[in-house]
Amino acid sequence: MMNSWQGEWVDFHAVKQAVSMEMVLAHYGVALRPVFGNRLRGRCPLPTHLSKESSQSFAVETNKNAWACQSDSCVAARSGRVGGNVLDFVAVMENCSVREAALKLQRWFTLSSGTTVRGPTSSGSIISAPGEAIPRSQSPRPALGECDARNKALAFELTGINHSHSYLAARGISLETAEIFGMGHFPGKGLMSGRVVVPIHDEAGKLVAYAGRALNGEQPRYLFPSGFRKAQVLFNLHRATRNECRGSVIVVEGFFDCLKIHQAGFRNVVALMGVALSGSQQKLLEDHFGSVALLLDGDEAGRAASSRIAEQLIRKVFVRIVDVPAGLQPDQLSANDIGMVLKGTVR
């Protein structure tokens, strides 16, 4: 059966110019560390990566919008090619042709086919149409139904998770809260070995991924599995919608923010897993809630994100921006302080 987009026009050059490797890595939830200049390095996210000895073999040159993996398995899978451009990366990640990869990118980042599109400007914006600049931090995300590939339910669950690990206690997370969220130290083998794991569910409550929080300064600080699309998920949504106060929700940035707010008695809380609200996440909020309280970090980035997200939501839901003390994050507040800043917000 022919896909509806098989006859669609695609300008490969325009897509490569408009979409950066950083944008695509963010779409897949891949975090790399800067090493020097314009270079990023970290674990290889490609499904072809099988080499256990070369875990930090993946590199990106942001100024060239190119990537490379030196591992034997990735090189062999691509017939000796070490790396490529953004289209090559998506083609490997999605196991599709370069043309299909370009079409996916057009949809994911709402690029109009046949339109001349330029890449990042010196001001950090992306020009998507004459006279229209979209800041990179606000680059459009796909709404529900726009992505070809969805987060699939995992066919396994990690066992042997230690919910009483000292790291959780040091972060102010009680054993009861850790058990509710299924969070704890994973001593087993595999991608999440030695990290504090966070089970992530979709809106229906299906387990779709584990995130792993490093304990000893390893990079990345948070590790997500290859192919997981965090832009399609609101962390803890499946619990928040079961809460009796379904019409209202508190939105925070990170996992520990969410746990601390929940622990303080506010069960209707979800986390973005970042500071950007994707189109998919926006639709989830609008479909499930009529009132949103934004409780993002008390830094410049958090406050800017609050204003931006409020503008996205204000047309369809009531939005309230809750001030967090300057320089602090919600998870650094005591239960009493949380109650004070959320005074009047439905629990």
Q: Are residues 286 and 194 in the same domain?
A: no
Domain range enclosing 212:
166-228
Q: What is the pLDDT of residue 70?
A: 82
Q: Note whether residue 156 is domain-resident.
A: no
Q: Are residues 121 and 21 in the same domain?
A: yes
Q: Name residues whose C-beta falls within 8 Å of residue 85's C-beta, 6 or more positions apart in sequence.
A: 16, 65, 66, 67
Measured CA to CA in angstroms, residue 264 lies from 258, 274, 336, 347 at distances of 10, 21, 8, 10
Q: Which of 139, 141, 77 minimizes the C-alpha distance to 107?
A: 141
Q: Note whether residue 2 is domain-resident.
A: no
Q: Are residues 118 and 42 in the same domain?
A: yes
Q: Are residues 198 and 278 in the same domain?
A: no
Q: Note whether residue 116 is domain-resident.
A: yes
Q: Which of 52, 95, 88, 90 minimizes the C-alpha distance to 72?
A: 52
Q: Are residues 21 and 118 in the same domain?
A: yes
Q: Note whether residue 31 is domain-resident.
A: yes
Which of 102, 122, 138 terminates a domain? The answer is: 138
* Amino acid in the structure at residue 28: Y
Q: Are residues 41 and 87 in the same domain?
A: yes
Q: Note whether residue 176 is domain-resident.
A: yes
Q: Are residues 40 and 81 in the same domain?
A: yes
Q: What is the pLDDT of residue 64?
A: 87
Torsion of CA 187, 163, 183, 259, to 10 degrees: -150
Q: Note whether residue 147 is domain-resident.
A: no
Q: And the tokens for 49?
A: 């990566």
Q: Note whether residue 292 is domain-resident.
A: yes
Q: And the tokens for 76?
A: 């062999």
Q: Are residues 214 and 250 in the same domain?
A: no
Instruction: Report the alpha-carbon distance of residue 48 to residue 83 in Å, rounded.
Output: 12
> Domain with 296 in it: what CATH number?
3.40.1360.10
Q: Are residues 197 and 250 in the same domain?
A: no
Which of 119, 138, 157 terminates a domain? The answer is: 138
Whole-angstrom distance between the N-terminal and C-terminal Cα of the chain? Answer: 49
- Print pLDDT tens along the chain (347 aa): 344 444 566 778 888 888 888 888 887 878 888 877 778 888 888 888 887 666 678 899 988 889 998 888 888 888 888 889 999 999 998 888 888 888 888 877 655 443 333 333 322 322 223 222 233 333 344 433 344 467 999 999 999 999 999 999 999 999 999 999 999 999 998 889 999 999 999 999 999 999 999 998 888 899 998 889 999 999 999 999 986 556 899 999 999 999 999 999 999 999 999 889 999 999 999 999 999 999 999 998 899 999 999 999 998 999 999 999 998 999 999 999 999 999 866 66
Give me the phi and psi of 113, to 5 degrees please: -65, 140
For 156, counting Cβ atoms within 10 Å of its Cβ (0-12 exposed, 13-18 middle, 19+ buried), the class is exposed
Report strand pairing: 248-252 vs 269-271: parallel
> Domain with 195 in it: what CATH number?
3.90.980.10
Asked whether 251 and 293 are in contact (CB, 8 A), the reply is yes
Q: Note whether residue 150 is domain-resident.
A: no
Q: Are residues 302 and 253 in the same domain?
A: yes
> Domain with 98 in it: what CATH number?
3.90.580.10
Q: Are residues 35 and 133 in the same domain?
A: yes
Respond yes or no on whether the N-terminal peptide bond of residue 220 is cis (omega within 30° of 0): yes
Q: Are residues 76 and 122 in the same domain?
A: yes
Total count of domains within the chain: 3
